[in-house]
Structure 1
Amino acid sequence: MDASEPPRKAWTFLTNHTRVLSAIARDPWARIRDLASALDLTERTVQALVADLEEAGYLTHTREGRRNKYQVIMGGKFRHPAEGDRYIAPLLEILAGSAADEVPRGDGARGSTLPD
């Protein structure tokens, strides 16, 4: 690289949406503040990402006492047309580890079995 060329921007394989979703799959009781700290994002950014994920049907939450408990909908599919026929569950199982095995899929069942 020529010294006159600007340095390339850093990039990652995972979007912040994926990072937030996998963190919530690991810990459904995580607070926005804790997610932001763990993911090196601002609280406002995490709030917006959680709202996006809920609006798109990948995530729901219920209020229990003073805390939110999140539920990842494992039966969701990828949004991009190139992968639109594939489920997100296998990726989340890799990223979240065994915690994803215990996340309800949204149909009342548990585990990583994909819907028909």
Structure 2
Amino acid sequence: MKIRTIGMMIAILIASFASFSGWAADEGKIVVMNPRGVQPEIRKIPMAPRQPTLDGKTVYIVDTKYAMTKPFVTELHSALQAKYPKTTWVLREKFGMYMDDDPNLWKEVKEKAAGSIVLVGH
């Protein structure tokens, strides 16, 4: 009885595969577009050249006001002033939040700073 049941199941399985293979061949072709689209070429911007020394230079520390980082920013400013006393450290808060642009601040940094540290969060 078991062999007969297994044989029937195999026969049904073979018949179902045979009927589907003929059915699928009658279907028309489907054109599929790539959902990623065409990505633009990535433009690499090299890092700025490293300063040989920070002595006598002005470095801006820019706080983007990421949530709960104010204590870290003030501690970083104090630590850098203590470790590099010959360097002028300027602490500035960026206008708005992280995603908001502050062209006046960036203009000031480009004109007056030899380097900058921009803090973006944790």
Flag whether TM exceeds 0.5 (same fold).
no
TM bucket normalised to smaller: under 0.3
Length-normalised TM-score, structure 2: 0.25
Greater relative CO (CA pairs within 8 A, separation 6+): 2
Q: Which has the larger radius of gyration?
A: 2
Length-normalised TM-score, structure 1: 0.26
